[in-house]
Amino acid sequence: MAHTTNRQEQIEQVVVTAQQMREIEGRIFEAGMPVAALMEKVAGLISLRLQALFPLSHYHRVGVLVGPGHNGGDAAVVARELHLQGYEVLIYRPIAKLKELTSGHTQYAASLGIPVYEQIEPLQNCDLIIDGLFGFGQTRSLSGNLADAVNRFNQGSQPIVSIDLPSGIHTDTGEVLGTAVRATRTFCLGLWKLAFLQDQALEYIGKAELIDFGIPAQDVWAILKQPAGLLRMSATVARNYLPLPRPAVTYKYKEGHLLLICGSRRYAGGAILTGLGARASGVGMLSMAVPESLKPLLVSHLPEALIIGCPETPAGAIAHLPEAIDLEDYSAIACGPGLTREAKPVIESVIEAQCPLVLDADGLNILAELRTIPTLLRRKTPTVLTPHVGEFKRLFPDSAGLLPDRVSAVWKASQLSRAVVLLKGARTAIAHAGSSVWLIPESTPALARGGSGDVLTGLIGGLVAYPSLSEQPLEAIVATAAWWHAQAGILAAQERTELGVDAFTLTQYLMQVVQKATLMP
């Protein structure tokens, strides 16, 4: 796991499945931690956080949904603690048969004067709802009266806070099991669950935060081993894979030489945006192969780059690479944005390159035409693929059946292709055969704009080209670029709104991300 040694940083980075969480908790209980004591500790932390976020002065009446398992037990203790702090608390308990601890806590809450209802009507006018119906590990669909109750709570205007996971969300895939609570906030307990990094769960999770209740690191690693299978990229980790600080004595070629092959007369902007993304990476030398007719345009936008004009097809695509380009001269090649499918001979040439290769956009579409797996298995050096979902389905039809479980799909694709596969989305996933799957925990819908992916391609190519990073895991370098790209989008959206982040604007925020990351303690 990167170079992270601090326990809190490790815990923030880890992502677990439902089964892994069960095994980790099992070790804690086997070591002597009473379940009741842990429940009290967790519920106490939740209660304190709720009081900070939802003060009594504004959220006097609180409805607590208590389910049958230990998640319901947590909720019952939270109900008791809020009651003791002066909140007017009402409990909704839709299922009569509860686990022993949950039953005991609910009974004690009732003895304090907290009303317990089997119908939701008394809770309809609450200022805040706490969802403790089901935690991690739920597999059955919500149906009948329970589903009706969840849907009615969702229709209300009051904020809803879910404990661990919104009830009705599958822990691993993020699938909605019949229906699910649409939480305003979700307090994930102990370790991040995989659902928090799956696109299909995001509209139900709301704002997510981790409630760290002190799981010992040795118990985590006893189950997950190192490196862990699923990891969240963060600013702390990304700093390990940024080419900073530079040596006091260096020169441009020692800081990498990237070749970009991109653009056509129809999609000239793709070449410009890819070049601007590469520029932001700080790569020592940038060369760009573009159609001859685009050369003056590219020189005007990227005067520091070496712009190489290529023979064109009648439609303005690159017909083939000129003899002046020796693919052995570069530390990495990134290819695809704006090419059009007419550039098939170009992809056939670069597939033979003996340096790391990044393929995007029409580079991916042409690769699919060439038969993805057999073509990639011929390569002796690393390949990075950066598809969106549509491109992914064309590249990996055998893996696409696992969608919308993006993590499983990208992992299988990486195993089959031996490539680093980055699957774009609200929560981008990056996988490499035999290694960890990296997940990007934050992004913004502001990046759903034409050209954003071109910027990412240039940024990835620039980082991959650095000789100083060549000994680092390639998937971690790619994940760092994806994190950097997402953070730039977030910063831009904060200043310009989600409508104001065009791809060119995005490139102007890339340096601010690095400045913030390097200034962190």
What phi and psi values does residue 423 have, to the nearest 5 degrees? -100, 110
Which residue in 405, 408, 363, 407 sits closest to 384, CA to CA? 363
Per the annotation, does 141 bind a ligand? yes
Q: Are 460 and 481 in contact (CB under 8 A)?
A: yes
Q: Is 135 annotated as a binding residue?
A: yes
**Is the Cβ–Cβ distance between 475 and 431 less than 8 Å?**
yes
**CA 314 from centroid of its chain's CA atoms:** 41
Closest CA to 290 of 337, 344, 327: 337
Structure tokens at 417: 């292709």
Cα 432 to Cα 347: distance, rounded to the nearest angstrom: 22
Is 44 annotated to bind ligand?
no
70 marked as part of a ligand binding site = yes
Instruction: Note whether 127 and 184 are within 8 A (CB).
Output: no
Tell me whether residue 40 is exposed, middle or buried, using C-beta atoms within 10 angstroms of its C-beta: 0 to 12, 13 to 18, 19 or more. middle
Residue 140 labeled ligand binder: yes
The answer to whether the beta carbons of residues 117 and 48 sit under 8 Å apart is no
Residue 426 annotated in ligand binding: yes
The residues with which 505 forms a beta bridge, in sequence order, are: none
Contact 95, 117 (CB under 8 A): no
Residue at token pair 């170009």: 346
Rounded CA-CA distance 254/229 in Å is 33
Do 266 and 316 form a contact (C-beta atoms < 8 A)? yes
Encoded tokens for 237: 């980790």
Q: Tell whether 435 is in a known binding site.
A: no
> In 3D, which of 327, 360, 330 has the Cα closest to residue 455?
360
Rounded-to-integer distance, Cα 167 and Cα 147, Å? 10
Q: Is 428 annotated as ligand-binding?
A: yes
Strand ranges in 224-277 using DSSP code E only, listed in sequence order:
230-232, 257-261
Q: Is 136 annotated as a binding residue?
A: yes
C-alpha 418/C-alpha 375 separation (Å) is 11
Residue 263 is classified by DSSP as -
Element (H, E) at 35: helix 35-53
d(CA 153, CA 162): 12
388 is in an annotated binding site: yes
Does 164 appear as a known binding residue?
Answer: yes
Is 138 annotated as belonging to a binding site? yes
Give me Rg for the CA atoms of the chain.
26
Coil vs helix vs strand at 464? helix
Closest by CA position to 239, among listed 503, 493, 463, 470: 463
Query: Does 60 belong to an annotated binding site?
Result: no
Is 458 marked as binding a ligand?
no
Q: Which two tokens stand for residue 143?
A: 């149906």
CA distance 507 to 278: 10
Classify the phi-psi angles of 120: left when phi > 0, otherwise alpha if psi is within -120 to 50, otherwise beta. alpha
| Residues in a beta bridge with 120 | none
For 152, residues 6+ apart whose C-beta sits below 8 A from its C-beta are 120, 124
Annotated binding residues for (6S)-NADPHX, written as ranges, equal 70-74, 135-141, 164, 338, 388, 454
Annotated binding residues for K(+), written as ranges, equal 71, 131, 167
Annotated binding residues, written as ranges, equal 70-74, 131, 135-141, 164, 167, 338, 388, 424-428, 453-454
Annotated binding residues for AMP, written as ranges, equal 424-428, 453
